[in-house]
Every structure is written in C-alpha cells, then in structure tokens.
Amino acid sequence: MLDRSAKNSVVGSRPVGWRGWWSSVLLVGLIVALVAPAAARGGSIEGYVLEARADGTGPRLAGVEVRLVEGTQSAVTAADGTYRIEGIPEGYYHVIISPPPAGYVGQVFGNVPCFAPGTYAGCPVDLGSFLEVPAEGTIENVIFPLQPEAVITGDVTEASEGSPADAKVALYLLSDPIFEPSFVRMAQTVADGSFRFDGLPEAVYYAVASGPGFFGELWREKPCPANCDVAAGDQIFVRSGEVTGGVEFTLALESTITGRVTEEGSGDPLSFFIVWLFDSAGTFLDAATTDDDGVYAFDLLGAGTYYLRTFAAVQWADEIYDGFACPGLDGSCDVTTGTPVVLAPGAQATGVDFSVAVGGQIHGTVRSEIGQPVAAVVDAWSATGERLRTAYAATDGTYQLTGFQTGDYFITTRLAQGYLPQLYQGLPCGELPEPDCDVTLGTPVHVELGQTTDGIDFALESSADCTPGDFRACLNRGRFAVDITWTRPDGTSGKAHSEQLPGIDDSGYFWFFRPDNVELFVKVLDACNTTFNNYWVFAAGLTNVEVQIRVKDTVTGFEHTYGNPQSRPFQPIQDTATFRVCP
C-alpha cells in the first residue's frame, strides 16, 4: 500500500508524488513506443531451403532469395537456410526460387522444378501449390528441396567437311508419354560447334539441331524435315547433379525444290496456287503457295526422293509431277505414280514445273418430282466406282462439279433430307442417306477438258413413309401424315374419315359423322423456298366438338398435335413456325 506520509521524491528540484511518478512512467513508455520500430503488419511465410536428397538430409542453403509471384515481398535465407517473408497482405500466393543459387534448379513451391535459370522463365508457376496467407499469423514449414542441376553438352558439325556448324539446338521435355514433348529452351553453338544446357531438372528430353543452310536433325542422326515429330528422335536421360555429354549432331546441307505453275496453252503464271510435297512412300510432308510469278519453293529438305502434285480444289485439273493426271477424291491420287525428284545433300532441283489446264465441268439441278429445289450433295464417280468430286446443290437446286480430266463419269445424289439417293438418270440408289448401289450401272456422263457438260438434272423421289387410308391423309408428296380424332359432349369419340382432293397433294378434308358433312379441312404447304424456309400447317373447321389433329413429318419423325376444346366453334389454325426441317 502506498505510504502517503512518505516524503516526495525529487527529480531535479521538482517534487513528485505518486501521481507524478505514474505520469513519468507513461511518458517513458510513450517515448519507447515512438522510438521502437513498428512490427510488420500482415501474414508471414517461413521455412527453409536445402539440397534435395532422398533421405531429406541435404545441407541447408544460405543466401537464397525466396519470393512471392503475386507480390513484391521476398526474403533471403540465413546461414542455417531458414527464411521468413513478412508483411504479406491476406490472399493466395505462389512462392518461388528463381533464379536459383549456382549449381541448383529453380523451384515453385509444391516441388515443381523450373526449366530455365532465368527469373520466371521456364517456371510452370500454375503447377505449383497456392498458399493461403491470413491477415495475421504465419504459415510455417514452407520447405524448398532444390535439385542439383543436370547439364547436357554436345557438338554440332557439318556433314560435308566435319567443321563446327553455326547452329541452334532446341530442347524439348517429355512431361507425359501421352502428350507431345514441350519446348524448353534453345541453345546456340559457340565457335567450336559446342553447346550446353545447364540448370536442368532430372527428366527425359529430346533435342533438335538446325541452322541456316542446313537440314534439321533429331538426336541421334534422324532427319527432321519441316514440322517433324520431335518424339521420333532418341530420348536423352539426365540425372540430377550429373553432366550428360555426347549429344552430337552432324548436319547435312539443305536441299531445295523450286518450280513454276502456269496455265496450259497461254503459259500465264498462276498465283496463289498450292503445290503439295510427299516423301518416297507418298506421305504428305508440306505445302507451298505460288507467288505472283507462279513460282513456288520447298527448302530445308534432306537428301532423298520426293513427289509433288498440285492441289487446286476447284476449276483446274490437278496434276502429279511430271504431267500425270490426278483425278482422285477432291484431287487425291497416288502420287508415287508420278516422276520422282531425287535430291543429293545440298542439291537444288529447279524447273520442277506444272502446266495445268482448266478442267471439265458438269452442271445441273437437283429438284423434287414436282420441280421444287432440293438441298443435296452431288458426287462424281470414276469408271471403277471411285468417288472423285463432290458438290453441294445451292438453294435454287443448281450444282457445279469442276476439275475433270477428259473421260466418262457417273453422278449420284445423297444426303437430300426427305428424298432417296439417285443415280443419273432417275435410277434408284438405295434407301439410305448415302448411295447404296453399284454406281457404274448408271448412265455415264462424258466430259471434255476445259468444256462444260450441262443439263445433268435430277428429279428425286420422296423418302416419306406415309400410307394413306380411310382415317389418314398423306399430304405434301406423302411426307406429312394427318390423323384426327373427335369427341362428343357425351364422351363418345372416333376417328375422322379422310378424303384427299384429286390432283392436289397438299390438302385433305375430313368428316366425322356423315360423308356429306365435311367437318375439317387441312393443308400442309411447302414454304421452303420462301424466307420462312419451313412447312406451314393450316386448318379450318365447321364443328364445335372436341378435336385433336396430329400432324407427323414422316421424314424427321417430328410430330405436333393441334386441339380444339369441347363446345367451342373451331378456331382456324395458321401455323408457320412448327415444322422447320426443309425440304
């Protein structure tokens, strides 16, 4: 208990009682608070960095910078390898070590290695683990076990002289056998032709070497033409902390093929014309497009045998080099029947030219039996039954097949919804959407190079499956089945009898109780050639009993029921939207 009778203390010459003493304590505390550094606000992350070893006993690593990807905060490990990042706003963060200390591989927390020694380059941050940092508090044990770096070394030489080559080597990673290898980074050879990749994690890699004037090569000694499959090369297995050497490349000088494409007869150059390149087995390799002078070029080619052909797609009669017709499906054909172009290392094959003619054409129309245009696919077939060309009938039913060599061809239709496939002229070709018959039994159509054969027309038979009867009307070329039931107020019901108007296939009338008392009239109109592009259903009646009208499109299987309630005069039906599939 404070003794109030005690004498006052003296600070200087000023008396101080117990009140003065407490004020002094507060003052000193305030001064200390002002002088002491403020504690960092926000959350913290702490942990340590060590060398990765299987038993987890690797040495701790000092002087390593650990940083946030989504922030600016960082920390450097102390002598014992520990670190603490403070003042982190609440949120989600990736933590990363990149660049790594010398001799190690960078890492994203979550044990995700980086594949390049630069700052964030080659670090798949999105594969790392997110840390949820609280507004206050510390996330502990954020540990980074860093792999000692693996290294790949090798040399690139010229095949002709064995001298060092000025080349680049691209490195690819096999991350998963089911995916294509992914690009890691590029290395440039130095004066002696050597190259080096350092800072690599333990993994399986592929390498490709290329350079100006050289044909590309996969390791080991496998050719790499344009767009080659990197995984066709041999795999390079590297282990943590080891140098994998002996990755050698011997590059051959590149070969080239050049030529021109001109119009037969006039000799005029054909620009924007496509030329395809194939290997000795007829496998497609690459495509080139002619310039304003009709010139095309393929470079970066290795020694070997090649075949070439044009690919005009329309109008022109395609050729295989040198002057062989190419009449296959939309221009496909066996290119190995042409003249091969054989290249030695560094060879330049010039004058590989094409002189192409305007192909013959076949024109015609596809319509229904009553003359309405039909959307259909039209095919041309060879004398041996090979599909050569395909065209699509326009909205007015016209079609045009192009690019024919002189000869005889067979023409069919298919995929005409609501209609059966047909051979020219009027011969059935199965009941499926695709032709199902021997097309060579049709009437051949003769075509001359550069000429048009016109009037190859089709009148297609409907594929509708509607059988008319006493209680069913089949309207609009038999496509739409109409069935009607009626119900009296006393609950008795029945089917309406159907009668179709002579010579008019889109309309029918129905009676319920007596043939001389027509109750309903139904019409299905084809509006496919209007802006509506569908079918319309109209109905009128002279009845007040309950009515159910079922209309079914027998081509698509879609059906819709219209109704009129009991004791209500029949309300006209004017439906221009429900049946939308044409023709």
Q: How would you classify residue 536: left for phi > 0, otherwise alpha for psi between -120 and 50, otherwise beta?
A: beta
Domain assignment present for residue 242? The answer is: yes
Pair (47, 142) in one structural domain: yes
| Confidence (pLDDT) at 555 | 81
Domain assignment present for residue 467? The answer is: no
Pair (299, 326) in one structural domain: yes
Pair (489, 530) in one structural domain: yes
Neighbours of 318 (CB within 10 A): 25
Name residues whose C-beta falls within 8 Å of residue 265's C-beta, 6 or more positions apart in sequence: 357
Domain assignment present for residue 394? The answer is: yes
Name residues whose C-beta falls within 8 Å of residue 505's C-beta, 6 or more positions apart in sequence: 475, 476, 477, 478
Last residue of a domain, one of 336, 356, 376: 356
- Residue 389's Cβ-count burial label (10 Å; 0-12, 13-18, 19+) is buried
Pair (13, 77) in one structural domain: no
What's the rounded Cα separation, in Å, for the pair 563 and 478?
Answer: 23
The CATH number given to whatever domain includes residue 65 is 2.60.40.1120
Pair (417, 368) in one structural domain: yes
Question: Angle CA(486)–CA(487)–CA(489) in degrees, nearest 5?
Answer: 145
Pair (478, 575) in one structural domain: yes
What's the rounded Cα separation, in Å, for the pair 511 and 536?
Answer: 22
Domain assignment present for residue 201? The answer is: yes
Pair (227, 285) in one structural domain: no
Name residues whose C-beta falls within 8 Å of residue 352's C-beta, 6 or more positions apart in sequence: 257, 258, 259, 308, 321, 322, 341
Domain assignment present for residue 413? The answer is: yes
Identify whether the C-beta of residue 87 lies closer than 8 Å to the C-beta of residue 137: no
> In the chain, how many domains are there?
6
Pair (17, 70) in one structural domain: no
What's the rounded Cα separation, in Å, for the pair 304 and 340?
Answer: 10
**Structural tokens at position 392:** 């699509």
Domain assignment present for residue 466? The answer is: no
Domain assignment present for residue 465? The answer is: no
Pair (154, 142) in one structural domain: no
Amino acid occupying residue 474: C
Pair (390, 444) in one structural domain: yes
Element (H, E) at 32: helix 18-35
Pair (220, 156) in one structural domain: yes
Last residue of a domain, one of 226, 251, 276: 251
Domain assignment present for residue 509? The answer is: yes
> Strands 222-223 and 82-88, how do they pair?
unpaired
Last residue of a domain, one of 231, 251, 271: 251
Pair (418, 487) in one structural domain: no
| Confidence (pLDDT) at 17 | 39
Identify whether the C-beta of residue 187 lies closer than 8 Å to the C-beta of residue 196: yes
The CATH number given to whatever domain includes residue 378 is 2.60.40.10
What's the rounded Cα separation, in Å, for the pair 536 and 576?
Answer: 5
Exposure string over 519-536, b if 16+ CB within 10 A, otherwise e: bbbbbbbbebeeeeebbb
The parent domain of residue 16 ranges over 1-36
What's the rounded Cα separation, in Å, for the pair 293 and 265?
Answer: 16
pLDDT tens series, the chain, 583 aa: 334 333 333 333 333 333 343 344 333 333 333 333 444 579 999 999 999 998 888 999 999 999 999 999 999 999 999 999 999 999 999 999 988 999 999 999 999 999 876 555 578 898 999 999 999 999 999 999 999 999 999 999 998 888 999 999 999 998 776 678 889 999 999 999 999 999 999 999 999 999 988 999 999 999 887 778 999 999 999 999 999 999 999 999 989 999 999 999 999 999 999 999 999 999 999 999 999 999 999 988 888 999 999 998 678 999 999 989 887 655 568 999 999 999 998 899 999 999 999 999 999 999 988 788 988 999 999 988 888 889 999 989 999 999 898 999 999 999 887 788 999 988 988 876 677 889 998 899 999 999 999 999 999 987 777 888 899 999 988 889 999 999 999 999 999 999 987 778 899 999 999 999 999 999 999 888 788 889 999 999 999 999 999 999 988 889 999 999 999 999 999 999 999 887 6
